[in-house]
Amino acid sequence: MTGGLHLGTWEPLPAARWEDAFLSGNGHHGALVFGDPDDDRVIVTHHTLVRPNGGEHARPPLLADELPALQDRLLAGDRTAAESFTDGRPLQWVQPFHPAFRIRLSRPPRAPQVPRVHDSVRTRGTPFRRSVDFTSGEVTAVCGDRISRVFVSRADDVIVQHVTAPGPTLDVRLDHRLPGVPPGLGVGHGARLTAEGAVLSLHARYPGSDRAYTGVLLIAVTGGTTALAPSGARVTGADSVLLLTRVRRCTGAPAVTGEAAALLDLLTGRTYDDLLDRHLPAHRTAYHRVTLDLRGEAAERALSGSELLKRPGSAALAERLFAAGRYHLLSASGLLPPRLTGLWTGDWDTAWSGAFTTDANLNLQTASAAAAGLPEVGEALARLVEAQLPDWRDNARAIFGTRGAVAPAHTDGESGHAYHFSREYPLHLWTAGADWLLKPLVDLDETRGAQDPRTAAALAEAARFYEDFLTRTDEHGHLVVVPSYSPENRPANASWGTLNAAMDLSAARHALRTAAAYHPGTPDADRWQVLADRLPPHRINADGALAEWAWPGLADAYDHRHLSHLYAVWPLDEIDPHDTPDLAAAAHRALALRGTENDSAHGHLHHALIAARLGDGDRVARALRYVLEGDYFHASLMSAHYPDRNVYNADAAHTLPAVLIETLVRSTPDRLVLLPALPPAYPEGELRGIRTRFGAEVDLAWSPDAATALLRPTRTLRIDLRTPSGARPLDLVAGEARALDLRTW
């Protein structure tokens, strides 16, 4: 609890669905906690768990020799030419993300047996409450004198579970039988007694593969006995039970003995609280960097999450979703950045393979990383990029015959090869991906005031690709991006693969200029800058809107969930109301004409991010209202992809904090914009700890009558300050805090 804020959420009943289970994670392991006092279940996940499906061997199509002919046909006006730019393979999905198993802690049924636990809790009149504390990552379920506590340790990379008053008898087992589990999964169980209690193991080998994963569970009992049982272990007469769980991806035989020894060593001389104390510094340091207080009503702040979700206009709901979004984003980021489902799933048939969809979703989810003080998220993204850069080089060579790097639109976290494409989704034509994925890392570099060598190297690879790829020109001497693709849309009068998609133009310009800035004074930088200057300008269509394709004659198709053509507005700074008002007006017109298509959450919040950049608070509010009123959030406060909680998906949960921040504080390396697009629903509040790209932390407070800001700069420089009252330069001195009364600025 900070300043009246509830930095957590709670429910009065156990979770009946895995989608409503409370979440914990350390960016490697994840846990979905049901909190059922009679049959407690914790579903275990791990970022590396992807099922082999052929994608592990897939490579990008060898099309480079056919590229010149395709370019000739497209430039000559053949609007369907790119449909034949394929090697004829069927659509291949990336390896799907899946859960490992569930830990089940079962107490024998009581008489009379009641079919549902949440009914039995009410029938017995036993007080029940399950909660998750965002500041610690700890999930707790209390039912009478029984207390279950679970967290995933950032210090020790282990799932830690502790149960007090577990009952006269408690059965513990590892259960792989989750929805969608493949029938050919080869599963073996192991169990042995130890001085502390027992070790259980589960080894699962994927059908038709030598790849497998192993889970090891250490049971330590206080004040009772442990015996092996056919399904696992039975604990009798214990005062408390402590469980430590790890999962490892492997090939061949399991390494149970070594993992069990490591867990026993970790446990020696330590209690649950000792393990929690080891975890807290890393988690709390990150989580407490930024807070948002919208002056929610005390009575609403006290509501359970499921009750608060019934009040979509409530400031308390926005506060809690902001807090939950930062918590889930941090918890899902470590070994890798968040997947479409974050770090969690309870089903082997996860939509869209539970992959990383990089042409929109991943960047939307990580949009708040720099400003919201979560460099841990950026580091996870940097690891993904660095690990996959060799595969990105393969894509460039195979498909386009160039040096440099081309990122895929989908990845399972292992392979970065571009092999997931089809006629309707020619994702192998998308060349903007490297710049799109590197933009958050550039933002983080600007925030901390130091360039990451990994980002510099990847930018150089992106620039080298454009050097070799941008060889065709139009009648005005401008370079042409051909073929070009605007995810995941097509012109109203042409096929998907075309020319000069607005996103491709912006990405090429940004990648070349940013790579030049990262490599100043080099011949490469000079060439890249010249190349960027030869790209054509954006086109404004007959509707007065920024065209999705800058090539003359290509007609816009407005009803689509993606807003790739407005990449220049967000996340880039290429189009800005303060510097390019005419283009900003055209971008605003394009945004106003855009439909919502299938009502995907990422489409609404992408719309809101762009509207905030354009200073349209009413449009931001409308997009937020769609999401808050559309039943997109589960009781866990994790979100769904579609309305009515249809398809578990982290887009809305992780992106919403970025939207709220953009309405209040926006920065560039030399500008600060305060209150650019404040939604009318939040007339007062306080946002603390925001990081800026010019190297200062900002605290902002506002009300209908006043607004103040406190800047704590780490660099000495002059910035352009923009407030609702006007614009003026502001000189900042490193180490000297600067307080502003916005009424006088």
CATH architecture for residues 8-49+96-288: Distorted Sandwich (2.70)
pLDDT at 4: 63
Q: Tokens 């439909």 identify what position?
A: 595
Tell which phi-psi region holds residue 48, choosing left (phi > 0), alpha (psi between -120 and 50) or beta.
alpha
Average confidence (pLDDT) over 475-486: 97
Q: Are the beta carbons of 81 and 72 closer than 8 angstroms?
A: no
**End-to-end Cα distance, the chain:** 34
Instruction: Give the count of beta carbons closer than 10 Å to the beta carbon of residue 289.
Output: 18
Contacts of 145 (CB under 8 A, 6+ apart): 164, 165
Q: Are the beta carbons of 638 and 342 closer than 8 angstroms?
A: yes
Peptide bond before residue 488 is cis, with ω within 30 degrees of 0: yes
Q: How confident is the model at residue 325 (pLDDT cuts 50, 70, 90)?
A: very high
Peptide bond before residue 483 is cis, with ω within 30 degrees of 0: yes
Average confidence (pLDDT) over 544-552: 98
In the chain, the amino acid numbered 314 is S
Three-state helix/strand/coil letters over 496-538: CCECCEHHHHHHHHHHHHHHHHHCCCCHHHHHHHHHHHCCCCC
Q: Tokens 């998308």 identify what position?
A: 430
**What is this structure's pTM?**
0.96
77 burial type by CB count under 10 A (0-12 exposed, 13-18 middle, 19+ buried): exposed
pLDDT at 114: 43
Q: How confident is the model at residue 323 (pLDDT cuts 50, 70, 90)?
A: very high
- Give the whole-angstrom CA distance, residue 517 versus residue 521: 9
Q: Are the beta carbons of 545 and 589 closer than 8 angstroms?
A: yes
Residue 205: phi, psi to the nearest 5? Answer: -110, 130
Q: Are the beta carbons of 386 and 434 closer than 8 angstroms?
A: no
- Reading the block at residue 299, the tokens are 């009575």
H helices, E strands: number in the chain: 17, 29
Specify the length of the chain in residues. 745
pLDDT at 744: 64
- Give the whole-angstrom CA distance, residue 46 versus residue 335: 10
pLDDT at 673: 98
Three-state helix/strand/coil letters over 593-633: HCCCCCCCHHHHHHHHHHHHHCCCHHHHHHHHHHHHHCCCE
Give residue-wise pLDDT tens across range 159-216.
Answer: 999 999 998 999 999 999 999 999 999 999 999 999 999 999 999 999 999 999 999 9
Q: Are the beta carbons of 23 and 150 closer than 8 angstroms?
A: no
- Reading the block at residue 167, the tokens are 């009952």
Q: Are the beta carbons of 203 and 212 closer than 8 angstroms?
A: yes
Peptide bond before residue 112 is cis, with ω within 30 degrees of 0: yes
Mean pLDDT of the chain: 95
Residue 689: phi, psi to the nearest 5? Answer: 90, 10
In the chain, residues under CATH classification 2.70.98.50 are 8-49+96-288
- Give the whole-angstrom CA distance, residue 517 versus residue 494: 37
- Give the whole-angstrom CA distance, residue 214 versus residue 697: 44
Q: Which has the closest alpha carbon to 414: 50, 29, 30?
A: 50
Q: Tokens 């087992």 identify what position?
A: 173
Q: Tokens 């060439």 identify what position?
A: 527
Helical residues (DSSP H) of 355-501, grouped into ranges: 361-365, 375-395, 433-448, 453-469
DSSP H or E segment with residue 74: helix 67-75
pLDDT at 125: 65
Give residue-wise pLDDT tens across range 569-610.
Answer: 999 999 999 999 999 999 999 999 999 999 999 999 999 999
CATH of 55-92+359-595, one of 1.10.620.20, 1.50.10.10, 3.30.70.600, 3.30.70.141: 1.50.10.10
In the chain, residues under CATH classification 1.50.10.10 are 55-92+359-595
pLDDT at 108: 79
Residue 645 has pLDDT above 50, yes or no: yes
Residue 123 has pLDDT above 60, yes or no: no
Residue 517 has pLDDT above 50, yes or no: yes
- Give the whole-angstrom CA distance, residue 345 versus residue 105: 20
Contacts of 610 (CB under 8 A, 6+ apart): 563, 566, 569, 570, 587, 591
Q: Are the beta carbons of 146 and 157 closer than 8 angstroms?
A: no
Q: How confident is the model at residue 231 (pLDDT cuts 50, 70, 90)?
A: confident
Q: How far is CA 735 from CA 131, 238, 280, 374, 717, in A?
A: 40, 56, 29, 22, 12
